[in-house]
Amino acid sequence: MSPESGHFPMIRTVGTDGMLVSFGDRLSEAANRAALAFRAAVERAGWSGVEETSSSLVSAYLRFDPLGLSHADLTARLQDLIADRDWLEAPLPEGRRLHRIPTCYGGESGPQLAEAAEAAGMSEAEAVESLSGARVRVTALGFAPGQPYLGELPEAWDIPRQQDLTPQVPKGALVLAIRQFVIFSVTAPTGWRQVGQTAAPLFRMGDERPFLLAPGDEVIFPAVSEAEFANMRAEAAGGASWEALS
């Protein structure tokens, strides 16, 4: 269980009031699924003293009151829960959503589509077909609030980040690298390549859940024409829709 042992699942402390249960040291579908399932199990357990939980790419995180719930107690509980099952085989938790977020690929909306397609060994048309047909999972949210990492794309998309940063991609930019998409929730510089543009707001005040995407949700980015996209931009939901996944 020590960090040096390299055995997963691994329990580590985060500062004085955090505990992290990791299921791998690199992103994999199974490790991400395990992190999501384990976090859901911790939430269900409702241990007194646990104040907040989240999941990152391969880990479940607990913030707790270390004076109310000792590190030793919490570690013992986590060890028991880990022993409960093979978490790499665990099903995804319930309550997830499948989103369709219409995307305008290429052209001004995706200035690096051609470059990315070439790196993946495809024509632009093949690239749009591959990307718009992919169903990806929100593996984590971070960097900026509500900003999702989504994976994994087909293997052809295991392309590196570019050497130089793009000085600025617009809010809603769909960028990719290393078999993952990111939708930018703010205007920012990035080393990822912009292949398309989305119009769905990732954060909307007043909604019951103000963040559009939650960890574990799945997303499809269907291709729309520039004209259709222009219309969607005027809609509050930016053309996005979702259904419950059971």
Partner 1 sequence: MSAALIVREAGPQLTLQDMGRPGWIAYGLSRGGAMDRLALAEGAALLGQPLGTALEMGGLGGAFEATEAMRVALTGAPMRASIDGTPVEWHAAHLLPAGAVLEIGPVTAGAWGYLSLGGGFDEPEVLGAQSAHLTANLGARIVAGARLAVGPDRGGETGRRIRAEDRFSGGTLRVVESLQTHLFPEEQRARFGQEGFTRDQRANRMGVKVVPDGAGYGVEGGLSVVSEVISPGDIQITGDGAPFVLMAECQTTGGYPRLATVIPADLPRVAQAPAGAKLGFRFVTLEEALEAEAARRRALKELPRRVEALVRDPADVPDLLSHKLVSGFSSGEHHDH
Total of residues contacting partner 1 (CB under 8 A): 46
User: Angle 134-136-138 (CA atoms, 0-180°, nearest 5)?
Assistant: 160
Q: E-assigned strands of the chain? A: 10-14, 18-22, 50-55, 59-64, 97-100, 103-105, 135-141, 148-151, 166-169, 173-177, 180-183, 188-190, 193-198, 218-220, 241-244
DSSP per-residue letters across 64-132: E-TTTS-HHHHHHHHHHHHHTS-GGGPPPPSS-EEEE--EEESGGG-TTHHHHHHHTT--HHHHHHHHH
Told to check if 160 binds partner 1 by CB under 8 A, we report: no
| 66/111 with CB nearer partner 1 | 66
Question: Which residues 173-212 are close enough to bind partner 1 by CB under 8 A?
Answer: 186, 203, 205, 210-211
- 244 three-class SS: strand
Exactly one of 133, 145, 160, 170 binds partner 1 (CB under 8 A); that residue is 145
Nearest distance, CB of residue 58 and partner 1, angstroms = 6
Does position 172 interact with partner 1 (CB under 8 A)? The reply is no
Cα separation, 58 vs 90, whole angstroms? 14
Tell me how far, at minimum, the Cβ of 112 lies from partner 1, in Å: 21
- The residue (of 107 and 160) whose beta carbon lies closer to partner 1 is 160
Scanning 76-84, 87-95, 139-147, 224-232 for contacts with partner 1 by CB under 8 A, the matching segment is 139-147
Q: The tokens of 13 are what?
A: 């402390």
Q: Which of 14, 45, 76, 125 binds partner 1 (CB under 8 A)?
A: 14
List Cα–Cα distances, 89 to 33, 82, 128, 133, 155, in angstroms: 8, 12, 32, 26, 22
Nearer to partner 1, 13 or 132 (CB): 13
Under rule CB under 8 A, which residues in 41-80 are in contact with partner 1?
Answer: 51-59, 61, 63, 66-67, 71
The binding site for partner 1 (CB under 8 A) comprises: 3-4, 12-18, 20, 22, 24-27, 39, 51-59, 61, 63, 66-67, 71, 140-147, 149, 186, 203, 205, 210-211, 214-215
